[in-house]
Amino acid sequence: MAPRKFTPSPKSTLPFKTGNREKRQKLHIIRKKALDNTRRDERFQRRREEDKDPSLREERLRRNIPLTLERKRVWDDVDADTGDGLGVSVDIERLKRQKLEEEKQLEVDEHRSSQDEAVEASGSDNDRDSMIDSASDSNDPSMIPRKPLPRHKSSTERATSPTQSTTSTNLDLTPSALAVRFPTLFSTPPAAPKTLITTSLNSTLHVEGQLLTTLFPNSVYIPRSAHRHSHKYSVREIASFATNRAYTALLVLKEDQKKPTGLTFVHLPDGPTFHFSISNWVEGKKLPGHGRPTDHHPELILNNFRTPLGLLTAHLFRTVFPPQPDFEGRQVVTLHNQRDYIFLRRHRYIFREKRQTEKSVIGADGKEVKGVEGIRAGLQELGPRFTMKLRRIDKGIQRASGQEWEWKGGMEKQRTKFQL
């Protein structure tokens, strides 16, 4: 026997409460079941209609975009010339595209003005000839008004794209003023990295320091002595020591309650110094189905660094990884920026045949990528994984941290404005 379908009475939809507790509970259950049945019928009816007309499903999915912070992201309204722009939240790629469009439009206007001047010069000689020329010009396809250039989406509309947060960073769009301000970070070609890794004073993170040597190629871990009679070397003294031995970067791992809480990047020989906070540290052996890393140089993926400060941070990470990876190792390190949090992951990949239950590879335009219909990439995480957030950039290498800084976080109180 089919279950009886509950239908809400007129009183059940009214916002009132009866004095009897049992009747109030029954009324609530009846109303809830009736509403659930109504929503279920609407859902099945919508599915039947979308099966008949797939365009309805596409339209519904296009409109049902979740309202996230990335969709609400706002940018600073600045001109094309922003200088180094460390404290400015502006999309460098959008400014570059806007500048190219303005130059193209200026060329079109100059071409039209030159044609108008030529027509006026020929018209001053003879009125009849000018009438003939004007008639011929009207039939000339070059004089037909061109259609306006397509309107590009604003920064807020572009952020609504589901693939915008996974856009690879274009390091060629670095502002020239930023390259002049930090010439050692933007040297081409970049020098071969050689990294010295150490910890804060009296630290116990020796295992985590050794793990970082497997993450950053050509790196060495030297623990800072905790002996009571030993000399407490400062970061400036360690940087001088590392510079004399041809190191290109110094990493200082900080701890709190025997857990990693910070990571300081010192670009040698003269700075700058980047201070990051660390959260959600997970070792590779604690990851389910993890693999063992090898000594091959990994590939580097930098995602969604769009502002001048983001490009500066991306160039910093580029200097601690070799420019030429070992492809036979099939290892890749991903630094993904989202809402100013940098997620670091390391994987080993393998190309295999696509299973029947798996979907095809979808490109940035939302369509299937041609030529790889039967190929999928399998990933195995190697670890460690953690999340970083940029807190401050200091000038050079200072005796005490925070004396003079290039950029300092926490000064922007608007949640919808991001710095990277």
Residues 6+ apart with CB under 8 A from 412: 89, 419
47-79 residue pLDDT tens: 999 999 999 998 988 888 888 888 888 888 776
Distance CA 252, CA 265 (A): 7
Cα dihedral: 169, 171, 176, 180 (round 10): 110
- The count of residues in the chain is 420
Q: What is the pTM of this model?
A: 0.74
Question: What does the pLDDT read at residue 263?
Answer: 95
- Dihedral (CA of 341, 346, 350, 353) sign: negative
Question: What does the pLDDT read at residue 103?
Answer: 82
Q: If you count DSSP H runs as helices and E runs as strands, how many of each does the chain have, helices first?
A: 9, 11
Amino acid at 402: G
CB 52 within 8 A of CB 38: no
Report residue 383's pLDDT band, with 50, 70 and 90 as the boundaries.
Answer: confident
DSSP state of 225: P
Distance CA 310, CA 323 (A): 19
The two tokens of residue 343 are 């997620």
Beta strands in 110-203 (DSSP E): 195-199
Report residue 206's pLDDT band, with 50, 70 and 90 as the boundaries.
Answer: very high
Question: What does the pLDDT read at residue 161?
Answer: 37
- Write the burial class of residue 112 (CB in 10 Å: 0-12 exposed, 13-18 middle, 19+ buried): middle
Distance CA 249, CA 243 (A): 9
Distance CA 196, CA 247 (A): 7
Question: What does the pLDDT read at residue 81?
Answer: 60
How open is the CA angle 34-40-46, to the nearest 5 degrees? Answer: 140
Residues 6+ apart with CB under 8 A from 93: 170, 173, 306
Whole-Å CA distances, 183 to 98, 177, 186: 27, 10, 5
266-296 residue pLDDT tens: 999 888 999 999 999 999 999 999 999 999 9
